[in-house]
Amino acid sequence: MRITAVTCVKNEGPFLLEWVAYNRLLGVTDFLIYSNDCSDGTDALLDALAPWGVVHLPNPAKGRNYQMEALKHAQKHEV
């Protein structure tokens, strides 16, 4: 069974590795993470985690509904 976590992040770099590792322990197999204008290197870290099942995409939102637009986009993603 595959379990996918979908989330949005902005400047979460210091916490990402721990968050991904913890969710792996809980059984999450894939991650679909949308980033919003990061200035702390979060987006680069997410790209580096690709070999471990982390799919990083820029948030498709135009305006203020970042989470809802990302969730709508995630429904159509192959992960």
What are the residue boundaries of the structural domains of the chain, listed by start?
A: 4-75
Find all residues with CB under 8 Å of 2, minimum gap 6, and list them: 29, 30
The pTM for the full model equals 0.86
Predicted local distance difference test score (pLDDT) of residue 63: 72
In the prediction, which pLDDT does 61 show?
66
Bridging pattern class, strands 4-9 and 30-35: parallel
pLDDT digits (tens, 9 = 90+) for 43-72: 999 999 999 889 998 887 677 777 777 777
Query: DSSP class of residue 52?
Result: G
Alpha-carbon dihedral of residues 67, 54, 17, 62, nearest 10 degrees?
-20
Q: CA 74, CA 32: separation in Å to the nearest integer?
A: 8
